[in-house]
Structure 1
Amino acid sequence: MNHPRIEVAVREHAALGEGPTWDPAGRRLIWVDILSARVHTYDPESGRRTVMATEQHVGAAKPRAGGGLVVNLRDGIGLYDTDGAFRWLVHDAEPGRRGNDAAVAPDGALWAGTMRYDETETGGSLTRIAPDGAATRVLPLVACSNGTGWSPDGRLMYYIDTPTRRIDVFDVDGEQVTGRRPFATVEEGVGYPDGLTVDAEGAVWVALWDGAALRRYTPDGRLDRVVRLPVRRPTACAFGGRDLRDLYVSTARTGLTRPHPLSGSLLVLPDAGQGTAATAFAG
């Protein structure tokens, strides 16, 4: 266990802060508050912030290669242009279901997860969205589709269905993933695995919902580091900043009767490691 410096990047009262993503073109950190239907941005050099309201609960927001954002909404995948104009890329409404975490693969496709509001065990899925909007459901019948990320060489994909307590790993073959197998398991009593990011050494960082901590697993699945946090419900993490060495952590306060004053804020661990450049959605 180590004791890095933990700072507050953005003091906020997000109900369900999620999905921090570094946008290298805009030199900003993008994150969402799912239940408040808000997309936040933060420029760590200038301190400038923006907040954009969406019409639906928003599980994730990622930069697009040509500017603007791709968003994982309640009823499907939407696109925002640089002028704020919105259009649907994939409209797939299902009562009682919403978009959750999402990530962009090295080939520029979006992998978008869903879950049911009542968290039914088989009510969610993980779908690959090609830049032209072609959707391929890769994993049906999941409970709470969460962290997704790729090894630095793009040959492995990591994935979390939170109630399983596992981080799983797949082999990547072009647009396909195969050979699903457990990579690491989070034992009972220390929280649930939520969002993840992969650093330049191929290690997997995982936020522990209800665990007040981050964990780092080496490429062979060994627990390497535990970082204790002041908030009970960290949700996801991502490297950002000019040199991709600062680890940003989104947090939540939903469901807590006495949340910590920083619950819902965006935290940062300066110089926590070395991240890799995120790929923008190619659509």
Structure 2
Amino acid sequence: METAAPSPTVLVNARARLGEGPCWHQPTRSLYWVDIYNHRIHHYDPDTGTDRFFDAGEVVGCVAPAGENRLILARRHDLAFLDIIDSTVTPLLDVEAPRPGVRFNDGKCDAAGRFWFGSMDPAGGEGRLYRYDPDGALHLMETGIFVSNGLGWSPDNRTFYLTDSSQQTIYAYDFDFESGRIVNRRPCVDLSGAPFFPDGLTVDREGCLWSAMWDGWCVIRFAPDGHELLRLPLPVQRPTCCTFGGADLGTLYITSASVGLSEAQIEKSFHSGDVFSVQGLAVGLPTHGFAGSHNVKSL
């Protein structure tokens, strides 16, 4: 295991209920992230230190860049676009019929501009993983998931990673970049029996995985073969996701949650719901945006 890591600092005193999905936007050198249950998409500008938010009009699980001044959103059961100039949200596509307790969760784009996003069904294990292509085609990629969560790709685009938080496992798949197919699912990181759960993740330039540990007070770096390399302690019980950003992609941004914590737990975890940053750990991979330019479908 590597030596001790530098300490993260509080970047945004957000006190979010369920901060998630940090997404670095290189053209504007700024950070997007969501507060799922407050229906908010946040935009943080490191140059000014300001954090503003947009109303998604619904539970929002994740966002990704989708062209100039636009984001693609996975909301409770649909996809939508957000215009960040006039703050309008335009529904794009109904994906799943409403089911009690089921909603979309984490997602991001691959290097071909395809948007991957998953749903969670903690009680029934009927969550799904989808791929939405730039030509408007929707593909069902995986089924039988309890809590579809952190996903990413190896630097060579030959391996795809997907987290099922309830199963305490990060899975690896063989990934065909040209077709977008995934095959040969196998456990990469197995945390069965641990007192915490893997949540959102990111992949660094060396191919290592950084996974936020819900109820674990930390982010853990794993080698591509799944063994632990480094444990980054955090002053919050429920870190949720992380991504690399900054001008050189050398800053790790981390979101967190306060939802479900008792008053006593929040006293021990005062910064729950805040956003953190730490530098000097590794260099990340570029964020990819949705490459579609097709017209929005009217619902």
TM category (shorter chain) comes to: over 0.9
Q: TM-score, normalised by structure 1?
A: 0.95
Q: Is 1:188 matched with 2:190?
A: no
CA distance in structure 2 between the partners assigned to 1:3 and 1:81 by the alignment: 38
Runs of 5+ consecutive residues of structure 2 not aligned to the other structure: 293-299
Per the alignment, residue 140 of structure 1 pairs with: 143
* 2:228 aligns with one of 223, 238, 262: 223
Q: Which residue of 1 aligns with 2:164?
A: 161
- What residue is the counterpart of 1:95 in the other structure? 99
User: Aligned runs of 1:26-105 on 2, under 5 Å?
Assistant: 26-82=28-84, 83-92=86-95, 93-96=97-100, 97-105=102-110
Give the aligned residue type for 1:168.
Y
Structure 1 unaligned runs (5+)?
Answer: none
* Residue 242 (1) aligns with residue 251 (2): no
Give the equivalent residue in structure 1 for 2:280.
Answer: 271
Q: Where does residue 282 of structure 1 map in the other structure? A: 291
In 2: Cα distance, 1:272 partner to 1:43 partner: 21
Matched residues in 2 for 1:34 and 1:267: separation? 17
Please tell me whether the aligned partners of residues 5 and 281 of structure 2 are also in contact (alpha carbons under 8 angstroms).
Answer: no
Distance 1:187 1:247 in 2: 26
C-alpha contact 1:72 1:100 (8 A) present in aligned 2: yes
Fraction of identical pairs, as percent: 37
Structure 1 residue ranges (4+ consecutive) displaced by more than 4 angstroms after TM superposition: none
Query: What letter matches 1:95 in structure 2?
Result: R
Q: Give a deviation string over 1:71-96, Cα, whole Å, max 9, x none.
A: 01012111123433332222134132
- Decide whether the 8 Å contact of 1:90 with 1:133 is kept in 2: no
CA deviation vs aligned residue, 1:108-156 (integer Å, no higher than 9, x gap): 011111114xx22323111001123311111122111000100111111
Counterpart-to-counterpart distance in 2, 1:250 and 1:238:
9
Contact in 2 for aligned 1:239/1:275 (Cα 8 Å): yes
- Specify the SS of the correspondent of 1:167: strand
Counterpart AA for 1:71:
L
Q: Number of residues paired by the alignment?
A: 281
Match for 2:142: what amino acid?
L
Q: Deviation of residue 246 (structure 1)?
A: 0.7
* TM-score normalised by structure 2 residue count: 0.90
Q: What is the Cα deviation at residue 194 of structure 1?
A: 0.6
For residue 63 of structure 1, report the CA deviation from its aligned partner. 1.0
